[in-house]
Amino acid sequence: MRRTAEGSFRWVLTMFPTDAYAIDAERPTDDFPEFVTDACTLNDENPAAAWRVQTVEQARVRRN
């Protein structure tokens, strides 16, 4: 908690696939974990690179 208060520790939150989220997304519950994994680019060859691209895009959107 100290590191969070100092700003030296950053939090990252993501969706955890649950049956309720699958129902909300109108997706089959068996397929939903893979859907979330794909949406988070975790199946990409280089997920970190995909997130760096997303970071640039989010910065652009925030500026506008």
pLDDT digits (tens, 9 = 90+) for 3-13: 888 988 887 88
pLDDT band at 15 (very low <50, low <70, confident <90, very high): confident
Exposure class string for 6-42: b at 16+ Cβ within 10 A, else e: eeeeeeeeeeebeeebbeeeebeeeebeeebeeeebe
- The mean pLDDT of 29-38, rounded to a whole number, is 92
Angle at CA 9, nearest 5°, toward 42 and 55? 45
Place of tokens 């397929």: 31
Among left, alpha and beta (phi > 0; psi -120 to 50; other), residue 23 is: alpha
**pLDDT greater than 90 at residue 53:** yes
